[in-house]
Structure formats: C-alpha cells, structure tokens
Amino acid sequence: MTTIKNRRTIRKYKSEEVAADLLNRLLESAARAATMGNIQLYSVVVTRDKDMKEKLSPLHFGQPMVKGAPVVLTFCADFNRFTKWCEQRKATPGYDNFLSFINAASDTLLFVQNFTTLAEEAGLGTCYLGTTVYNSQGIIEALNLPKLTFPIATITVGWPDECPEQTDRLPLSGIVHEETYKDYSEDDIDKIYEYKESLQENKHFVEINNKETLAQVFTDLRYTKKDNEAMSSGLIEALKHQGFL
C-alpha cells in the first residue's frame, strides 16, 4: 500500500475546499475501524468557519495549519452519546471512569488513523496536531464538549500545496521485541539513534540552538519536563471536569 508507505505530513494547503460529501464518505469508511463492543466511542467536530478557526488557533499554539486548512477536524472520545442511550433505555451506565476514557480514546485514535489513510488515498494532505491534549480545557470550551466527551486529536485537512521530504524513522529492530521486551543496552541505543543523529538537518538544529546533543534539543526546547508536568496537571483537571476521573 503505497499511500501509507509514501506518507508525509502536509502543512500547506491550496485554498480549494474539501467537499462535504467527500469528507463524509471518508469518515463513513473510517468508521469501519475496530471499536469496543461495536459501540463507536467517538465524535468528530468539523470546523470550516473562519471565526471558529480563529478561536482554535491559539489553543494549538498558533500553528498556521489551523487557519490555513480548509477543514479542521477535532476527534473526540465520546461516552456521552452511549450513556444517554443507556439512560433512555432503562439501563444504568457506568462509564464515568478512567478505563472508559482509555477505551473511548483508543476507539477514537483507530478511527483517526483510518480517516487519515483514506484521506491521503483520496489525494488529500493531513497534519496531526498533538497540541489537542495540551490545551484540552480550552478546546472543550471552544467546541462546547459536554461531560463524558474529550478532545483527543486534531487533524487539519486540505489539498496539498507542498511535497516535503519524508522524515526519517528508527530502524525497525529498535522497535520490535521477540517474545519479551529486551531492554536496551548503551550499545543498542547508540545504534538505534545513529542515523537520526547523523542527519544534516538534525546537526543543524543542535548548532543553531547552541546545544551539545540532539537529545538536548528535545528535552530543553521541544518537550521539556516543566511543560510536560504543567500540562499533565491540566490534562488531569480536564478529565475530572469532563467526568472521567
């Protein structure tokens, strides 16, 4: 399947719209993904409106794809719909807990990835915004997400206006374990990261940021302990607010 093999993240889109019927067809097929008990624990909020994109943009740290893409999709874990159904059918739901959040988040991400593959197969470009879980509470408010729903992933979608190089990946041997997890020796780590560290682009990052190693670019600038801890607290608070903890 060349679509998956050749995939790259697309951050620049043509101004051309993505037709609603195409989008719906893709979402409908994406829903064939495995789902817990065939319950489909997700919803998707479609953003096309300029004002709504303006609202979402700062919540995604101003990443230009939010305002630049014709469509922004926020995929949400959703136990609200199922819970309402239970209540309307004399059944006692019990999904206001952490396991149910993880189940719904899993369903959502399988759906997201299926959608992404289908969109790319149709010639569209997509970008996955991990920032969705960094500012969950803001997104919950912007999109009016009720209790027992939670924003998990945002995908910007449009017709590609760029074709960037494919990014590197770790050697498969660094990811696959036979029968049990074999923890990494120092030598393993050196080998696994050797290629990544050798790339000109990564050497450049180290240099312009005045760092000694590439790992420091990640820990000191991109994904710092301080930010992660602050955002962990925010995420846990938002989960409580939405009734999952």
Name which of residues 177 to 236 contact a second copy (CB under 8 A).
177-181, 183-184, 186, 189-190, 192-193, 212-216, 218-220, 222-226, 228-229, 231-232, 235-236
Taking the complex as a whole, the smallest distance from the CB of residue 61 to a second copy amounts, in Å, to 14
Residue 90 corresponds to which amino acid? K
Q: How many CA atoms lie within 13 A of 15 on its CB side?
A: 0
CB environment 157-183: b (16+ within 10 A), e (fewer): bbbbeeeeeeeeeeeeeeeeeeeeeee
Phi then psi dihedrals of residue 174, to 5 deg: -80, -5
CB of 19 to a second copy, least distance (A): 14
Residue 77 C-beta: closest distance to a second copy, Å: 11
Residues 120/3, Cβ–Cβ less than 8 Å: yes
Question: Which one among 29, 67, 159, 241 touches a second copy, defined by CB under 8 A?
Answer: 29
Cβ-based nearer residue to a second copy, 161 or 234? 234
Provide the mask over 129-158, with x wherever binding to a second copy is found by CB under 8 A and - wherever it is not.
Answer: -x--xx-------xxxxx--x--xx-----
**Span between the terminal Cα atoms of the chain, in Å:** 40
In contact, 140 and 55? CB cutoff 8 Å:
no
Contacts with a second copy by CB under 8 A: the residue count is: 115
Q: Record the tokens describing residue 85, joined without a space.
A: 């159904």
Could you tell me the smallest distance in angstroms from the CB atom of residue 96 to a second copy?
9
Structure token pair of residue 96: 């206001």
129 with 112: CB under 8 angstroms? no
Out of 22, 57, 67, 81, name the contact with a second copy by CB under 8 A. Answer: 81
Q: What's the closest the beta carbon of residue 4 comes to a second copy, in angstroms?
A: 6
Using CB under 8 A, pick the residue from 12, 22, 36, 159 that binds a second copy: 36
Interface with a second copy, residue 167, by CB under 8 A: yes
Per-residue tokens: 225: 């302990």
